[in-house]
Amino acid sequence: MILLRPDCLVFKRGDGQNVPCSAHEVILQLLGDSAEGMEENVLQNVAEAVLHYFKEDLGWTTVSVGEFALALSKVLRSFGWSCPMNLPAEPASLVLDSDLANLASESGTGLELLFFPRLRAELRGKLNDAPRVVRFLGLRRCVKQLTGAKRWTPRCQDLNDRIVEYLRHCLRTEEDVAGCALVVI
């Protein structure tokens, strides 16, 4: 293992690479031209504060550029500065979750006719972000909520199966979903 300089963190880049770099250099990269209006000692203190937060408060030595930029923007806002950041493009999230029970609540009890179009719209919305996995959680609660049942019944099982089959059908009919998996729990 290589020992890092005390002013460095390992930054996870969007392409999966880990790069050791000083916090000060990353701040200069993130702030770009807006760093020119700030004094050097202020930038150094901000870098030390953000570095301290990750290393000492959280105990991290590896951080994503996005996490670092978020902490940096909080520090700058506390000083009254609002600086735009040059964030590198992050890859799409690998897994996107959706809560079926929330969708059922929005549709109302016993209103399956409203639920299924809402479910398709939710799936399409998730697929727009090009995830690797779209995961729908809370199927059992959703079914019981839509049927108004307190205990699992054959009607519940039928609706459960229809929801899963409907999601599969919707995924098959969408374009550009190669490599995207569907998980219903």
User: Residues 148, 178: one domain?
Assistant: yes
User: Residues 123, 71: one domain?
Assistant: no
Q: Is the pTM of this model over 0.95?
A: no
Whether 86 is covered by a domain: the verdict is: no
Residues 65-90: tens digit of each pLDDT: 777 777 787 777 777 776 665 555 44
Q: Is the model's pLDDT at 100 over the cut of 70?
A: yes
Number of domains in the chain: 2
Residue-level pLDDT at 109 = 62
pLDDT higher at 7 or 101: 101
User: Residues 126, 174: one domain?
Assistant: yes
User: Residues 135, 163: one domain?
Assistant: yes
3-state secondary structure of 61: coil
Task: Note the residue count of the chain.
Answer: 185
CA-based R_g, the chain, Å: 23
CB 128 within 8 Å of CB 181: no
Q: Is the model's pLDDT at 174 over the cut of 60?
A: yes
Tokens of 10: 């390992």
Whether 85 is covered by a domain: the verdict is: no
User: Residues 121, 180: one domain?
Assistant: yes
Residues 135-144: tens digit of each pLDDT: 999 999 999 9
Mean pLDDT in residue range 159-171? 95
Domain of 147 in residue numbering reads as 95-184
Q: What angle do CA 175, 158, 115 make, to 5 degrees?
A: 50
pLDDT higher at 18 or 15: 18
Helices (H) and strands (E) in the chain, counts: 7, 6
pLDDT higher at 38 or 100: 100
User: Residues 170, 140: one domain?
Assistant: yes
User: Residues 116, 143: one domain?
Assistant: yes
User: Residues 120, 176: one domain?
Assistant: yes
